[in-house]
Amino acid sequence: MLLAGGFIKKKGSKNVMNWIIGIIIGFFLDLLLGDPYWMPHPIRWIGSYIGWLDKSLRKKTERKKQRAMGIVLVILVLIPVAGITAGILLLCKDGWMLTGIIAIMSYQILAARCLQVESMKVCNALENGEVEKARAAVSMIVGRDTSVLDQTGITKAAVETVAENTSDGVIAPLFYLLIGGPVLGFVYKAINTMDSMVGYKNKTYMQFGWAAAKLDDIVNWIPARLSAILMIISAYLLQMNGRNAWKIWRRDRRKHASPNSAQTESVCAGALGVALAGDAVYFGKRVKKPIIGDAIREIEANDIWRANQLMYSCEVLLLILGVGIRFILWK
């Protein structure tokens, strides 16, 4: 029997236990180490490969054929990613070697610590009164024009990023890792990376990035809603406004062009008692966006840390849930 996507043969209990231990070790490695800039990382390699394919395929294809070529891009990315990952796992003969490889791969797939580190640079700069430093820091984690943002706008942008990335940057990778091992985990990360690089709704990528964007919406549909539920539970556990988190999620979860992005943004806004989203400038153009949440109070720099607390709580809850289900199925 094979664990879906994990390519681990079930020979009694040993391999299942190695699989579980590997993911747990990877989880703690991410918490402890994060993603140091100097460390080679397969997601960056995947990004470089996507960039090369983008130049090779899109720029050499006439506009009416770019949607089809975008589908080719998806295939040319996902097959090697899945194949290489599966091949490495299949080469592991020893159970503990397999555990070590799964731990390393899980560590590379998860990115909660990186999200915390980058967003807290914004928080720390704001708390020290260094608005320009905070603006520079937030520009590294958002796609909007940050030059027009004041202190409140910078704070909102950072909180929104943590809230949205709780779903597609933290919970979704762990979700696919738990159900499909590193193979499905890396496939998800490749899809998400493609979307971030070519999934723009502009003249350049509207057709070429269509397949990547649609696939990203599909694979994030379940994790986004799972993230929202976990975040509502987390709001109660962390003694934030859980009741308001539920209320705002029910009301505002569809207030976004993406079918998934407002799921966790709405919960976070409700849990913190602040208003998020609203109009923003992207690539020199002002984009009208509905406000998510109610401004029960003014947003403040420390809300970035509170959003991170919600994010970590969601991740821990999913890990406990996922490992628990694995144990039940194993028994």
Mean pLDDT on 214-218: 96
Band (170; pLDDT cuts 50, 70, 90): very high
Confidence of residue 280 (pLDDT cuts 50, 70, 90): low
According to the 3-state scheme, what is the secondary structure of the chain? CECCCCCCECCCCHHHHHHHHHHHHHHHHHHHHCCCCCCCCHHHHHHHHHHHHHHHHHCCCCHHHHHHHHHHHHHHHHHHHHHHHHHHHHCCCCHHHHHHHHHHHHHHHCCHHHHHHHHHHHHHHHHCCCHHHHHHHHHCCCCCCCCCCCHHHHHHHHHHHHHHHHHHHHHHHHHHHHHHHHHHHHHHHHHHHHHHHHCCCCCCCCCCCHHHHHHHHHHHHHHHHHHHHHHHHHHHHCCCCHHHHHHHHHHHCCCCCCCCHHHHHHHHHHHHCCCEECCEEECCEEECCCEECCCCCCCCCHHHHHHHHHHHHHHHHHHHHHHHHHHHHHC
The mean pLDDT value of the chain amounts to: 90
For residues 269-291, average pLDDT: 79
* pLDDT score, position 6: 47
Using the predicted structure, report yes or no on whether residue 31 has a pLDDT greater than 60: yes
Confidence of residue 37 (pLDDT cuts 50, 70, 90): confident
**13-27, 47-61, 109-123: least confidently modelled range:** 13-27
Both tokens assigned to 95: 């159970």
Nearest to 248 by CA among 226, 271, 229, 227: 271
What number is the average pLDDT over the span 266-294? 83
For residue 92, pLDDT beyond 90: no
Overall average pLDDT of the 84-110 stretch: 93
State the pLDDT at residue 258: 85
- Asked if residue 82 has pLDDT above 90, the reply is yes
Q: How far apart are CA 289 and CA 161, in angstroms?
A: 15
**What average pLDDT does this structure show over 207-217?**
94
Whether residue 91 has pLDDT greater than 80? yes
User: Rounded to 5 degrees, what angle do the CA atoms 297, 147, 296 make?
Assistant: 5
pLDDT at 13: 54
Contact 137, 304 (CB under 8 A): no
Q: State the pLDDT confidence band at 146, using cuts at 50, 70 and 90.
A: confident
63 against 194, higher pLDDT = 194
| Residue pLDDT, tens place only, 236-274 | 999 999 999 999 999 999 988 888 989 999 999 999 999
**pLDDT > 50? residue 331:** yes
Per-residue model confidence (pLDDT) at position 113? 96
- Label residue 326 by pLDDT band (50, 70, 90): confident
pLDDT attached to residue 39: 85
